[in-house]
Structure formats: structure tokens, C-alpha cells
């Protein structure tokens, strides 16, 4: 029988859920709160929070009162210092796993070791991490960039990695760096939630006819899921909400897999699953994920 299988790890991770709960708590308490950058890459959630009173800012320049919510991506040390100087209270939604990277980077930078970050230099999490070594990190995304890095022979370096980075690519980067004449300490800081989500995406996409990946187009971890699924299943579609789904591209006999990025709310996942199952009269197998998306 054809069926729809929903990945256990689809949707909100612990860190994102925690930051969102903090935001709603602040609003409920009627505290004027600013979010330093959009809380997550999801228009539905950020739109709802803005409607309820959370204001997104990109700079502290004109902010003299109210609390500042730090999103799960975290921020650099200079920003904490600026907040303290302004006397603005901080509601710290930095994911504890990201905080851990900050302390690794700070400690090793203070010990005069060179810092290498595997990740996207534009990603707010990487920008924040770099802010714990005075923006002195070498940031690379590919094995080719790792190979081209100009590092000092005999010197000590550490490498940390963006929590949502692809494990296989990180392994290739580390392998390249190990060919150099440096002392390298490797901190695999890829989040287990990400690893699990990506591993599930691999096995699910290998066993279905069609894959649906749900998540904001700007969400890097969603994009990585799409990349992974496309490798195994050429019929992979990336949608933000049910509105993007072309039902005609699916048929009753398809085996369909569904997963979603870390910033995709349960309600959006549920809507897709329920619509698909009603349209094709398919049985749904939930691999045991969030209760909010159980059927």
C-alpha cells in the first residue's frame, strides 16, 4: 500500500523551540522586546510574533529601552558588551549548543591558537562565533577552501563547525586540513539534532518515490535537507507551506517521505501531511516525532 512517512526529526529543534517560547513569554508579560534579527527563518512565526508586539531590529543605534532577545544563532562578544553599556536587559535565546562553541572559541583564542570555522561566513551563527575571537577566524565552506588556506607551519589551530553543517563535508574539510603541517584540534560541533535530521533524510529519501521538504527558502538547514534528499530521490520538492505544493505532481501509488527544517512550525508540517493523506487517501506513518504533528 502507498503511504506517507513523516521523519521523526521533522521541524523545530530544541534550541529554536526554546527561543520561540522565550519570545512568547516576553510578549505575554507585556515587556517591550526587540529581537536582534528575525528569530527564525520562518515568515509565519516571525509575522505572528511581530503582530503580537515583538520588534525586529538589525542595529542597536536607536534603542534606549526595552529588552533585547538574542535568537538561537547567538551573537558575538562585542554585542553583549554594547548591550551592557546601554543598560539594556538581555533575554538570551542563544541555543546552549551554540554557547558551547562560543566558549571553545574564546578559550582557544585567548590561548593564542588560530581559529578555523567550517560554515557560511554570512550565516548569523558563524558571524556570532567569529565574534568570540575578535573576528579573527578563518572561515571556510569547502575542502578546496581548506586546502587553499594559508596556515603557519607548526602552529596550533582549532576547527569548530556551524551546528547545521553537513557531516560529510566537514569530514572532507578536516581531512584536507590534516594534510597541512599544523597541530589541529577538531571540535565537531555539528548539532546532534541536525545530524539526526540529516541521517533520517538520507534513509527516508532512499526509500520513497517522492520527497517533500518543508521549510523557509532562506533556512540553510532546510536547504541542506533538500540537497541531501535530491541526491537520493530526484523527485524532491522544497515547499514553504502547503500553498506551494502542486498536488498534481503526486499520485495515489506514490510512496511519499516528508521532512522539515529546524525552523518549520509543527502546524505547517501537519497541514501538509493531512492534505496529502486526504487527497490520496494514504496511510500516514509518523516515525515518532513531535506530539504536535501526530495524527
Contact residues for ligand F3S (CB under 6 A)?
Answer: 13-16, 72, 95, 97-98, 163-164, 191, 193-194, 262
Minimum separation from the CB atom of position 35 to ligand F3S (A): 15
Q: What is the 8-class DSSP label of residue 71?
A: P
Minimum separation from the CB atom of position 164 to ligand F3S (A): 6
Helices in 71-181 by DSSP H: which ranges? 77-86, 96-110, 124-130, 143-148, 167-178
Whether residue 189 is annotated as binding a ligand: the answer is: no
Whether residue 183 is annotated as binding a ligand: the answer is: no
What are the cell numbers at 51?
Answer: 503582530
Cα angle value 226/231/235 (rounded, 5°): 70
Edge-to-edge strand list for the sheet holding 55-57: 55-57, 33-36, 67-70, 90-92
Whether residue 41 is annotated as binding a ligand: the answer is: yes
User: Which residue of the chain is nearest ligand F3S when measured via CB?
Assistant: 15
DSSP per residue, 114-144? EEEEES-TTSHHHHHHHTTTTT--EEE-SHH
Whether residue 229 is annotated as binding a ligand: the answer is: no
Point out the catalytic residue in the list 31, 65, 125, 291. Answer: 125
Minimum separation from the CB atom of position 72 to ligand F3S (A): 4
Whether residue 133 is annotated as binding a ligand: the answer is: no
Edge-to-edge strand list for the sheet holding 210-214: 236-239, 210-214, 256-260, 3-6, 283-286
- Beta-carbon contacts of 41 under 8 Å, excluding residues fewer than 6 positions away, are 215, 216, 218, 219, 220, 222, 261, 263
Q: Which C-beta is closer to ligand F3S: that of 6 or that of 40?
A: 40
Q: Which C-beta is closer to ligand F3S: that of 124 or that of 143?
A: 124
Q: Which C-beta is closer to ligand F3S: that of 33 or that of 72?
A: 72
Q: Which C-beta is closer to ligand F3S: that of 195 or that of 209?
A: 195
Whether residue 72 is annotated as binding a ligand: the answer is: no
Minimum separation from the CB atom of position 287 to ligand F3S (A): 18
Check if the beta carbon of residue 16 is closer than 8 Å to that of residue 72. yes
Q: Which C-beta is closer to ligand F3S: that of 13 or that of 229?
A: 13
How far apart CA 57 and CA 175 sit, in angstroms, is 40
Q: Which C-beta is closer to ligand F3S: that of 24 or that of 295?
A: 24
125 catalytic residue (yes or no): yes
Whether residue 2 is annotated as binding a ligand: the answer is: no
Among 27, 21, 33, residue whose Cα is nearest residue 88? 33
Check if the beta carbon of residue 11 is closer than 8 Å to that of residue 265. yes
Minimum separation from the CB atom of position 191 to ligand F3S (A): 3
Q: Which residues of 26-59 are buried (b: 16+ CB within 10 A; e: fewer)?
A: bbeeeeebbbbbbbbbbeebbebbeeeebeeeee
Minimum separation from the CB atom of position 152 to ligand F3S (A): 31
Task: Write out the binding residues for dimethylallyl diphosphate.
Answer: 41, 73, 123, 219-221, 263
- Active-site positions read 125
Can you say which residues are annotated as belonging to the binding site for isopentenyl diphosphate?
41, 73, 123, 219-221, 263
Annotated binding site: 13, 41, 73, 95, 123, 163, 191, 219-221, 263
Amino acid at each position: 500500500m502507498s503511504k506517507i512517512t513523516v521523519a521523526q526529526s521533522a521541524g523545530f529543534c530544541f534550541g529554536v523551540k526554546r527561543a520561540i517560547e522565550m519570545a512568547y513569554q516576553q510578549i505575554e508579560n507585556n515587556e517591550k522586546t526587540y529581537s536582534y534579527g528575525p528569530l527564525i527563518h520562518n515568515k509565519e512565526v516571525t509575522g505572528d510574533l511581530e503582530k503580537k508586539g515583538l520588534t525586529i531590529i538589525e542595529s542597536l543605534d536607536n534603542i534606549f529601552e526595552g529588552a533585547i532577545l538574542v535568537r538561537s544563532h547567538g551573537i558575538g562578544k562585542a554585542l553583549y558588551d554594547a548591550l551592557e553599556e546601554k543598560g539594556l536587559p538581555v533575554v538570551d535565546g542563544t541555543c546552549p549548543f551554540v554557547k558551547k562553541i562560543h566558549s571553545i572559541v574564546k578559550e582557544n583564542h585567548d590561548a593564542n591558537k588560530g581559529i578555523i570555522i567550517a560554515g557560511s561566513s554570512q550565516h548569523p551563527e558563524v558571524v556570532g562565533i567569529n565574534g568570540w575571537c575578535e573576528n579573527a577566524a578563518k572561515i571556510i565552506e569547502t575542502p578546496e577552501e581548506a586546502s587553499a588556506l594559508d596556515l603557519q607551519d607548526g602552529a596550533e589551530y582549532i576547527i569548530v563547525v556551524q551546528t547545521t553543517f553537513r557531516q560529510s563535508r566537514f569530514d572532507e574539510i578536516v581531512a584536507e586540513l590534516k594534510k597541512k603541517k599544523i597541530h589541529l584540534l577538531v571540535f565537531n560541533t555539528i548539532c546532534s539534532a541536525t545530524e539526526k535530521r540529516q541521517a533520517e533524510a538520507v534513509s527516508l529519501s532512499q526509500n520513497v518515490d517522492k520527497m517533500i521538504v518543508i521549510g523557509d527558502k532562506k533556512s540553510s538547514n532546510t536547504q541542506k535537507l533538500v540537497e541531501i534528499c535530491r541526491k537520493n530521490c530526484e523527485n524532491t520538492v522544497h515547499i514553504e507551506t502547503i500553498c506551494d505544493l502542486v498536488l498534481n505532481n503526486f499520485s495515489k501509488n506514490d510512496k511519499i517521505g516528508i521532512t522539515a527544517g529546524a525552523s518549520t512550525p509543527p502546524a505547517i508540517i501537519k497541514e501538509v501531511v493531512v492534505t496529502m493523506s486526504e487527497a490520496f487517501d494514504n496511510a500516514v506513518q509518523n516515525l515518532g516525532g513531535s506530539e504536535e504533528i501526530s495524527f
